[in-house]
Amino acid sequence: MAVEYKTPQKSYKNPIREIDLNGVKTGGESSFLFMHRETGNSLKPLVACEIPVNIPKNYPELLIRAWGDKIHSPEECVKTSETAGFDIIALRFNIEDEDEIPQSLSRLKKILSITTLPIIITGSFKRELDVKLLPELARAADRKCTIGVAEEENYKEIAPVIRDCGHNIIARTPIDINLTKQLNILLTEIEFSPDRILIDPNTGGLGYGLDYAYSIIERIKYAALTGDTMLNMPVITFVGEEAWKTKESKSTSVPDEWGDFRTRALAWETITATSMLVSGSNIVVMRHPDAVNYIKNFINETHK
């Protein structure tokens, strides 16, 4: 006797907020990502290619090789990214001191004039410097961008300017669901619209705390879908930032059993990215162009 099997489906109370990144939207899902029978025609996750304005001394050789001579010109890297069909550009203004702020503003204005892609703007990740840098970048941007990161220690100085200039904000907390919710509440208390907040729960690269980050993102998504309106913002994860810190993606002084260096390094970034996507990340920010393409193909093949 044949038994008809029906795929179990679960409906949730509260969808994730849909946020406009200036022409491209993210979020909006009514279930966990890749649960297609539950989410319906939900928006696909997005991949951003990160381009630093300065190349650090310890920048991985594979990343330098990937861009070639263009690596020293963020403008040329942006043009290449647009030609390659990337979704979003993530500009990292990794400056060292305040004297570089005027040049950063000029660079941002030039890049905005040569591309129509949505732009994510991140600062130096030095809190005292970003308090001065990020507001100036927000004022200089002549169209909606997504700017971060704001943390509990510096959001009061950064967020009001980003709010008044009409940009989205990235709220970063250290892999803790309660701190994530708390920062979102603090932002809304200064009248920052929750429809312009992206959650950055922080993460680790493959083998460096990824499992903990994965579970935190799942918990954030579950709480959001079941009714928590201070957690139902899209999630963004800076995969490249973490994956390329690891020795597996940088070091050639390893046992032969570790395999081909390039294959291993790209695998470290792509596996970290796929893990973050499956856990619930709406945007992954990556560094190697080939890894970006791999993840775009992964999304297109699995999110149908």
CA distances for 13 relative to 26, 36, 207, angstroms:
19, 17, 34
Residue 4: pLDDT band by 50, 70, 90 thresholds? confident
Close Cβ partners of 132 (under 8 Å, ≥ 6 residues apart): 98, 101
- The dihedral through the CA atoms of 46, 47, 52, 58 has a sign that is positive
Closest CA to 152 of 195, 182, 122: 182
Q: Coil, helix or strand for 146?
A: strand
Task: Report the number of distinct structural domains present in the chain.
Answer: 1
pLDDT at 252 over 80: no
Residue 275: pLDDT band by 50, 70, 90 thresholds? very high
Does residue 6 lie within any of the structural domains?
A: no
Closest CA to 294 of 82, 130, 27, 84: 84
Cα-Cα-Cα-Cα torsion 136, 125, 273, 37, nearest 10 degrees, comes to: -60
Q: What are 84-127's pLDDT values in tens digits?
A: 999 999 999 999 999 999 999 999 999 999 999 999 999 999 99
| DSSP state string for 8-34 | -----S-PPPEEESSS-EEE--SSSTT
Does residue 19 lie within any of the structural domains?
A: no
Q: What is the pLDDT of residue 251?
A: 72
Does residue 89 lie within any of the structural domains?
A: yes
State pTM to two decimals.
0.94
Question: What is the average pLDDT score of the chain?
Answer: 92
Query: Domain with 263 in it: what CATH number?
Result: 3.20.20.20
Distance of CA 223 to the CA centre of its chain: 21
Q: Are 22 and 259 in contact (CB under 8 A)?
A: no
C-alpha gyration radius of the chain: 19
Q: Which structural domain range is residue 79 located in?
A: 31-302
Does residue 181 lie within any of the structural domains?
A: yes
Does residue 12 lie within any of the structural domains?
A: no
